[in-house]
Amino acid sequence: MNYDLHKTFQGKRVFLTGHTGFKGSWLLLILKQLGAEVKGFSLAPKNEFDLFYQIKGATLCQSVIGDIRDREIIKREILDFQPDFVFHLAAQALVIDSYINPVETYETNVMGSIYIMDALRQMNKACTTVMITTDKVYENFETTDPYPEDARIGGYDPYSNSKACNELAIGSYRNCFFNPEKYNEHHQAIASARSGNVIGGGDWSANRLVPDIARALRANEAVNIRNPLSVRPWQHVLDPLNGYLMLAAALAENPTGLAEGFNFGPRTNDERTVIDMVKLSIENWGSGSFETPEIIGKPHEAGLLKLAIDKAKQKLDWEPKFDSAEAVKWTMDWYKNSDADPLAFTQNQIETFFGL
Ligand SMILES: NC(=O)c1ccc[n+]([C@@H]2O[C@H](COP(=O)([O-])OP(=O)(O)OC[C@H]3O[C@@H](n4cnc5c(N)ncnc54)[C@H](O)[C@@H]3O)[C@@H](O)[C@H]2O)c1
């Protein structure tokens, strides 16, 4: 199976939530390069230097600034637009913030997703939806075995747990309202995508490893590392986004056979420790140092997490194009060299990756 993403998305109406965020800004630019007509729905970007501003995101789409916790607004925006595809990325996406604002995290990640699915119940045209959750939806026993899609859903902290709840809600809506066996009645196909720890240029979030590294190296300061020995499935942002697009393309072609959850992670044994990632980043940057201060009373975060990606390989013919070393190289290249024209630099990375 080789999906022609141009053919799938050219001229199609795509409703993209989270378009002002890190992954959403990249996806917006890719969709535009594939010829889609995009309507974005999100809160305003948090900082003036966010990637959304750097790529002039508001000029690339119909950009709606709104809150997915507002059920009536999200319903109106979806039904007015009548999308062919929905990619739902909007979320409170940070583990640390979920300890500070757990209620808001659940409201956004669980109810926000439910409002989107509920709006889709009222659509009278065929639509293909990919709901973005995370690798953290699995109950994590911190073993070296990678989690396949049918592993038990769990989640320790409010972020992971809210995304696990999100998966359960997606399952219920799919059983009850978007059942593949009754596709000819509702014409809605809905799948979920669980990716690993994503890195790439233009992420400026607080308390995320790569933005912390980029900020420190750009300021000539030592990188401060929270959990040096934690192992994560790191991947370049373009790899999971390619997975989401391939899943949507495949699901549009086969709406009854692929309405399921899919993992998109690095190849087995390409997971790396945090300290490895820091050393690789410094190597790519050309100079820099790091320190690992003892942080008393830090909140629990998973120490080891691996994803099995066999299903995406078998059913979608998807594989990561980059290994972790290449992912770091492309990321550091962005932070080092994109200042003069971030839009052109980001477009160029997309064109090279997708061969556009
Ligand atoms: N970055 C990663 O490593 C990673 C890994 C796995 C999964 N994910 C998932 O991918 C998605 C995108 O992540 P990201 O890294 O781009 O996050 P981000 O924080 O950069 O962006 C989040 C987006 O969601 C929007 N949003 C948040 N609350 C909202 C609300 N109440 N109403 C409307 N919009 C709201 C923000 O405005 C922003 O556009 C999220 O669902 C996240 O859970 C991210």
Residues 190-213: tens digit of each pLDDT: 999 999 889 999 999 888 899 999
Distance from the CA of 24 to the center of ligand 1, in angstroms?
A: 8
Distance from the CA of 95 to the center of ligand 1, in angstroms?
A: 11
pLDDT tens digit sequence for 28-84 = 999 999 999 999 999 999 999 999 999 999 999 999 999 999 999 999 999 999 999
Stretch 236-247: mean pLDDT? 98
Q: Among 220, 195, 202, which Cα is nearest to 333's?
A: 202
**Which atom of ligand 1 has the smallest separation from the CA of 135?**
6
> Which of 16, 19, 22, 301 has most ligand 1 atoms within 8 Å of CB, for mutation?
22
Pocket of ligand 1 (CB under 6 A): 18, 20-24, 42-43, 67-69, 89-93, 108, 112, 132, 134, 195, 197-198, 205
Q: Among 277, 268, 272, 322, which Cα is nearest to 147's?
A: 268
Distance from the CA of 90 to the center of ligand 1, in angstroms?
A: 5
* pLDDT value of residue 206: 83
Stretch 20-24: mean pLDDT? 97
Nearest residue by C-alpha to atom 43 in ligand 1: 93
The CATH number of residue 262's host domain is 3.40.50.720
**Which atom of ligand 1 has the smallest separation from the CA of 132?**
41
Of the pLDDT bands very low, low, confident and very high (cuts 50, 70, 90), residue 2 is low
DSSP string, 296-341: TTPPP--SB--B--HHHHHHH----SS-HHHHHHHHHHHHHH-TT-
Q: Which residue has the higher pLDDT, 248 or 233?
A: 248
**Which atom of ligand 1 has the smallest separation from the CA of 159?**
43
| Predicted confidence (pLDDT) at residue 141 exceeds the cutoff of 90 | no
Distance from the CA of 19 to the center of ligand 1, in angstroms?
A: 9
Nearest residue by C-alpha to atom 6 in ligand 1: 134
Distance from the CA of 22 to the center of ligand 1, in angstroms?
A: 7
DSSP string, 53-120: HHTTGGGTSEEEE--TT-HHHHHHHHHHH--SEEEE--S---HHHHHH-HHHHHIIIIIHHHHHHHHH
Mean pLDDT, rounded, of the chain: 94
> Greatest CA separation found in the chain?
60
| Predicted confidence (pLDDT) at residue 285 exceeds the cutoff of 70 | yes
> Which of 42, 78, 159 has most ligand 1 atoms within 8 Å of CB, for mutation?
42
Number of domains in the chain: 1
Rounded to whole angstroms, how far apart are CA atoms 266 and 307? Answer: 8
Stretch 12-29: mean pLDDT? 98
Distance from the CA of 286 to the center of ligand 1, in angstroms?
A: 31
Structure tokens at 327: 């992912």
pTM above 0.85, yes or no: yes
Rounded to whole angstroms, how far apart are CA atoms 15 and 129? Answer: 9
Rounded to whole angstroms, how far apart are CA atoms 160 and 78? Answer: 27
Q: For residue 305, give its domain range.
A: 5-354
> Which of 16, 23, 73 has most ligand 1 atoms within 8 Å of CB, for mutation?
23
* DSSP class of 180: G
Residue type, 115: Y
Rounded to whole angstroms, how far apart are CA atoms 248 and 121? Answer: 18
